Chain A
Amino acid sequence: DTGVSQDPRHKITKRGQNVTFRCDPISEHNRLYWYRQTLGQGPEFLTYFQNEAQLEKSRLLSDRFSAERPKGSFSTLEIQRTEQGDSAMYLCASSFLGQGSGYTFGSGTRLTVV
């Protein structure tokens, strides 16, 4: 297990299309987080899971955004009807709650909506 994997690394899509990103966390970690980052800004929290339970999704930017984590393993983030304003880096991270050792981030998925 070499860390958190995100796929794809880059995605270019036309406005109005749906996109789905995948995140494979570190297998021993029980928490998984999604963040969005735009140029020059820090990561903005979107949602997170503890095992398969989604603990908070109020920060998802609109009802076009949804995330799942079936069986508490990998997670997907879907954006429906993409808009140009959705262009950003989408970051996934995982951690083990209670360990107090910080997050492990993936390399991110860079989304460009044209």
Chain B
Amino acid sequence: SQQGEEDPQALSIQEGENATMNCSYKTSINNLQWYRQNSGRGLVHLILIRSNEREKHSGRLRVTLDTSKKSSSLLITASRAADTASYFCATDTTDSWGKLQFGAGTQVVVTP
């Protein structure tokens, strides 16, 4: 079973639009991380948010974390065709520090 679940499973938008995806998880975390994966490639770390943080920004990325709801969201602003990829949330839980558990991902397609 996977710790995190992303929603939606798939998202199709046009260049310039914002893309928002959500992640829900089940158990207490030390931190939550978001990764991007282009087709057939390894994952790339995007951003990490600690359990005592509520919001974090990195370039066009904005991540929020609500530990009371056990949920997180990733917002990509002003999307580009190069943002087409699968996005995964991963949790570092308090009972297995440093070992990440991944969700099934959100597949994002950005059309020019």
Q: A residues within 8 Å of B by Cβ?
A: 4, 31, 33, 35, 40-45, 48, 56, 89, 91, 93, 95, 97, 100-108, 110
B44 at the interface (CB under 8 A from A): yes
Q: Is the interface of B mostly helix, strand, loop or mixed?
A: strand
Seen from chain B, the residues whose Cβ lies within 8 Å of a Cβ on chain A are 2, 4, 31, 33, 35, 40-45, 48, 50, 88, 90, 96, 98-105
- Report Cα–Cα, A110/B41, bound state, in Å: 10
User: Across the interface, which residues of A come within 8 angstroms of B2, CB to CB?
Assistant: 42
Contact B104 A40 (CB under 8 A): yes
Contact residues in A for B48 (Cβ distance below 8 Å): 100-102
List the B side residues contacting A95 at CB < 8 Å: 98
Chain B: which residue is nearest A48 at the CB level? B99
Query: Which of B50, B100, B101, B105 lies in contact with A103, CB distance below 8 A?
Result: B100
What are 7 inter-chain pairs, A to B, with CB distance below 8 A?
A42-B4, A42-B90, A45-B99, A48-B99, A93-B43, A103-B100, A107-B42
| CB–CB B42/A41 < 8 A | no
Q: Are A105 and B44 in contact (CB under 8 A)?
A: yes
Give the Cβ gap from B56 to chain A, nearest Cβ, in Å: 12
Q: Is the CB of B41 within 8 A of A33?
A: no
Residues of the A chain whose Cβ atoms lie less than 8 Å from the Cβ of B96: 56
